[in-house]
Structure 1
């Protein structure tokens, strides 16, 4: 899986314009094969910044979306509206889905902490 967070710092006043480009595309993006999650949002604490969080089943699914004419137009809009960007990409072969409460995995082991009687079943 490929997890991506992108912070787009837009030209002053242009963050809403970037969201306006994404919004009508969201059903199409989310319905594509290999797209597990795609969510653009404004950053309250960072004026003129749009955070796009994405998750793809594979690198190929991500590349396939960017190869479409629809998404190439998004790239053109990014060139007009964005002055900088920060991209974090994470790859995962497996995902822990059995987290309980706020307990993190045991440091250094990658294993979940033992369940205690106070934890829900």
Structure 2
């Protein structure tokens, strides 16, 4: 799985034009076979910043995306409308999932302890804690479910 988080700083006053330019690009990216999710939103504190969150099945799917005609065309708008771009890319085939149910099992005030290297992570004092080591396909399903829920519960 490849995750990309980007902070796109638009030139002053150009955010709305940038968002309009992104609309067809977003639709085409979401239709790519290796795209798991492609989401963006306005930064809550900076009116010129757009936060972009992308997920691709693997690095090859992201490379395919980078070479699509719509991505190449989008680069002209990026150069014209953005002042700065900051990106974090993460590639992983190991997925760690934590399921924490705060309603059924309210945590104590000291529920998070530093990880002491025992393999249980930082959540070992949490009652009802489970940790699942899944596959990339498990992560893709989970991410898709989460994105669907976020869209239905804005």
TM-score (norm 2): 0.66
* 1:58-96 Cα shifts (integer Å, max 9, x gaps): 111111111111111111110000111111111111222
Q: Runs of 4+ in structure 1 displaced over 6 angstroms?
A: 102-106
Q: Report the structure number with the largest CA radius of gyration.
A: 2
Aligned residues: 119
Residue 27 of structure 1 is matched in structure 2 by: 27
**1:32 partner SS:** coil
C-alpha displacement of 1:110:
6.1
Report which structure shows greater RCO (CA 8 Å, sep ≥6): 1
Consecutive unaligned residues of structure 2, counting only runs of 5 or more, are 103-110, 131-154
C-alpha displacement of 1:17:
1.3
Consecutive unaligned residues of structure 1, counting only runs of 5 or more, are none
C-alpha displacement of 1:24:
2.9
* 1:32-74 Cα shifts (integer Å, max 9, x gaps): 1111110121112122011111011111111111111111111
Q: Do residues 49 (structure 1) and 49 (structure 2) align?
A: yes
The answer on whether the counterparts of 1:19 and 1:41 sit within 8 Å (CA) in structure 2 is: no
Residue 12 of structure 1 is matched in structure 2 by: 12
Q: Do residues 113 (structure 1) and 106 (structure 2) align?
A: no
Distance 1:72 1:105, change over 3 A: farther
C-alpha displacement of 1:120:
8.6
RMSD: 2.6
Residue 73 of structure 2 is matched in structure 1 by: 73
Residue 87 of structure 2 is matched in structure 1 by: 87
Decide which structure has greater helix share: 2
The answer on whether the counterparts of 1:2 and 1:57 sit within 8 Å (CA) in structure 2 is: yes
